[in-house]
Amino acid sequence: MACLGSVRLCARVEKLCQIGQNAQVRRKASSVRLKQLVDQPLTRSAVKSCQAAAAGSSRLLSSVRSQQPGSLPEYRIDPYQLVDDDLKNVHLDVQEELRRHTGHDELYTIAQYYFDGQGKCLRPMLCLLLSHALNFHIHKKDVPLSDKQKRVAMIAEMVHSASLIHDDVIDCSDFRRGKPSVNVLWNHKKVAMSGDFILAVASILIARINNDDVTICLGQVLTDLVQGEFMQLGSKETENERFTHYLTKTYRKTASLIANYLKAESMLAGADEGLTELAFQYGRNVGLAFQLVDDLLDFVASSSALGKPAAADLKLGLATAPVLFACEKYPELNAMIMRRFQEPGDVEHAFELVHKSQGLEQTQFLARKHCIEAQRLAERIAESPYQKGLLVVTDLVLNRMK
Amino acid sequence: MLSSKVNRLLAQRGPLIARSMTARSAGVCQAHLHTVGAQRGAVSQHAQNPKPDWTKAVSEAEKIVGYPTSFLNLRWLLSDEIANVALHLRKLVGSNHPLLKTAKGLLYSGKNNMQAWGLIVLLLSKAAGHHNVNEMEEDKAAGVLHSQRSLAEVTEMIRTSHLVHKGLVNIHPGLVEEGVALNDMTFGNKIALLSGDYLLSNCCVELAALRNQEITELMSSAVRDLTESEFVGQRDQQNNPVPSHPSECSPVDEWTLRSELSGGRLLGKSCEGTLRLGGHSKEFSQEGYKFGKHLALAWQACLDMEPFLPGSQHSAGTAFSLVSAPVLFHLQYDSSLYDLIQVGAENVHDVDYAKIQSIVSKGPGLAMTKRLRQEHAQKAMEVLAAFEQNDARTALSNIIVAMGEL
């Protein structure tokens, strides 16, 4: 525990949060954060206790008792429940759209494979929740979502799935969401084309929203996704460069989609510039936290909970936050990072060192920082059940098991 | 600078790759069929110059709209991501991943059809003129709008991206041995997929910047059409098309469907889009669609004929598309050819190309394809007739005429 308080780490993390191009890094004394950390039980045991508490529940993660000191009294609010009316049909709506755009059965079959209702649906849920919250904020009462707002939520899931399909081919993955990956089942060329097809349909739907700024905003997401993927191919020499590289990559691969889709939702809600920026930053912080936790879970969760093999990142040669943090204590990891864990025993060794180091706790700490920032932003939105939902989501993101 | 480096690199290694590829006749990496013509174009640059009329028609047309449209590609070649790709491509040199061939075809930018597509869009834009009054939005020297130039660029990027994605290898068990060969294939696929995605994402950004949702929707639907084209009809293990049995559908219908989806609609929609950008009515822009579609089909017929022409540069026995028009027409005329083609049901490279080539060359397929090309060229010309006489219109008809003489 004590080593967490190391000045060096604090300075580092402080710096890291600035890398996230956030102009409004909070000035709260770092002692506050440290205190929270001390109050916070070790992440691994926290995750274990959460696993025990939530055994069997998949989507209703909000039922998990929040681990945060002074956690919100509203923790029983279930963000998924709040938007259930619009969310429950997202998959069917996507399938319907895909079907409408092709007469080729095989293309349709591959394209709709991941729209099976088994995903977390985090992105559309956030879109719907934020739209409701902003409608309330702007109109001072509960205003039903417009069709366009609902469309954007659906498109977010489509673009996300299209990127999953291409990722599967790129990473040659075997399993996703507890079933064989697309690339295992079908011709790779056809799988790549199906991903393009989903993107094309998504672009058509975006164009039909008929809002120039929304189209521009959502177009940026694709560029970020590809650039993030390119960044993943390379690695940097020095520790500092590596962390910056990792964070930028994380923004582009995960946070950009959430941030920009929420920004688009805010534009459709009629938000002014300040509110649009707030939506973007909220999404960016939740997205970064989400990915950090994802990278952490790769080390602690069982493969059955994840629906994909554990330590998958290491096997792919990727050094994520836990490893980068662990480097501080075990410099021998540097060599392994540079050779992308390719030598026999590297993956196991790195896995062990990460667990022996404080890497997991430090990753959790960084994720928490982003969640707190997201909460701070959400608190500036007018109070409503949806706004509370936005606050609760950050807890879900932090304490999720899969 | 970068592109010249890559060019040099590929040029040096070119013969090596060619040798290693013929040595390993694994067949995985032989050209994806529809681009055979394009790649041959690139190669022929060294062997001998392409037919003069064609070169003349294209280079004169390029002058009309400002600068060689092959420069359109340079912008994306000079970006950071592509610098990365170039580095990664280097690792692939020596392996037999088809991405290298695709890259070579793109970089050599000979008089292949790729660059010409953007050129067509620009020429049509100029031939039709525009109703824009804002001088800031016009490229005065070329007589086209900046937005139209963007659209021409998007057309080429969509097409290139599709070709690159088509060049993925279907890695199925038993295709290559575990180890280095498998790693090469996997890595090549990764780079191919990402490069194509990179182009597509750039298309989205460029289209979005036009702030014209009608055009964005139109061009997105063109991307959709291209993806559909890969699902038409019977396929071998590498997704190369194999013709249906002649009793199942008419050759013209089959050929038209494939060619429309794999290119006709893209060029058609680009032409339609550029007229809309120029402020023309929907009805008139529809004519643009017809022009682009028929021109692309005439072009495809032209490429399809190449291997069967007397004195063609196509060396005997090398692969050509089994769904090319002459083969399909011949199948209808004499369905016994189907037995030879069925040999390639799992891998199109198993068929005896020399034999099919000689059979088809003697049959009526070539003449019928010529007629098909003529029909489509004629329809494209008819659209042009409604345009006022100007240099761009002349250039377009020159290109169509030159195509007839290829």
For residues A81-103, average pLDDT = 94
pLDDT digits (tens, 9 = 90+) for B266-315: 999 999 999 999 999 999 999 999 999 999 999 999 889 988 988 777 77
A204 lies within 8 A of chain B by CB: yes
A197 lies within 8 A of chain B by CB: yes
CB contact under 8 A, B231 and A203: no
Which is nearest to B125 in space by CA: B41, B215, B199, B204? B215
Which is nearest to A293 in space by CA: A397, A188, A174, A193? A397
CB contact under 8 A, A196 and B171: no
More confident residue, A166 or A10: A166
CB contact under 8 A, A189 and B239: yes
Residue B262 DSSP class: I
CB contact under 8 A, A190 and B239: yes
Residue A307 DSSP class: T
For residues A21-29, average pLDDT = 33
Predicted TM-score (pTM) of this structure: 0.82
Predicted confidence at residue B57, as pLDDT, reads: 74
pLDDT digits (tens, 9 = 90+) for A231-277: 888 777 777 889 999 999 999 999 999 999 999 999 999 999 999 99
Q: Which chain A residues are Cβ-neighbours of B84 within 8 angstroms?
A: 230, 233-234
- Per-residue three-class SS string for B76-117: HHCCHHHHHHHHHHHHHECECCCHHHHHHHHHHCCCCHHHHH
Nearest residue of A to residue B223 by CA position?
A200
- Supply the ipTM of this predicted assembly: 0.82
Nearest residue of B to residue A163 by CA position?
B197
Predicted confidence at residue B219, as pLDDT, reads: 98
Mean residue pLDDT of chain A comes to: 83
CB contact under 8 A, B197 and A166: yes
Which residue of B189, B226, B230 is in closest CB contact with A169? B189
Tell me if A1 sits within 8 A of A38, measured CB to CB.
Answer: yes
Predicted confidence at residue B77, as pLDDT, reads: 52
CB contact under 8 A, B205 and A222: yes
Interface test with B, best of A108, A170, A205, A245 (most B CBs within 10 A): A170
CB contact under 8 A, A230 and B237: no
Query: Of all helices (H) and strands (E), which one includes residue B242?
Result: strand B241-242
CB contact under 8 A, A190 and B214: no
> Angle at Cα B84 formed by Cα B82 and Cα B86, nearest 5°?
70
pLDDT digits (tens, 9 = 90+) for A186-238: 999 999 999 999 999 999 999 999 999 999 999 999 999 999 998 888 777 77
DSSP, collapsed to helix, strand or coil, labels residue B285 as helix
Query: Of all helices (H) and strands (E), which one includes residue A370?
Result: helix A359-378
pLDDT digits (tens, 9 = 90+) for A97-135: 999 999 999 999 999 999 998 888 999 999 999 999 999
Running along chain B, 406 residues long, what does each successive block of 10 average in pLDDT?
38 34 33 34 36 67 64 53 64 69 58 67 92 81 88 90 90 79 85 90 94 98 97 92 87 93 96 97 97 95 88 78 95 93 91 93 94 95 93 91 76
What is the least distance, in Å, from the CA of B57 to any CA of chain A? 34
What is the least distance, in Å, from the CA of A353 to any CA of chain B? 28
| Cα dihedral: B252, B291, A190, B18 (round 10) | 90
CA pair distance A182, A196, nearest whole angstrom: 14
DSSP, collapsed to helix, strand or coil, labels residue A91 as helix
**A290 CB burial (10 A radius; 0-12, 13-18, 19+):** buried
What is the least distance, in Å, from the CA of A256 to any CA of chain B? 14
- Per-residue three-class SS string for B135-169: HHHEECCCCEEHHHHHHHHHHHHHHHHHHHHHCCC
Q: Which string of b and e fits A167-202 if b means at least 16 CB within 10 Å?
A: bbbbbbbebbeeeebbbeebbbbbbbbbbbbbbbbb
A212 lies within 8 A of chain B by CB: yes
CA pair distance B265, B274, nearest whole angstrom: 14
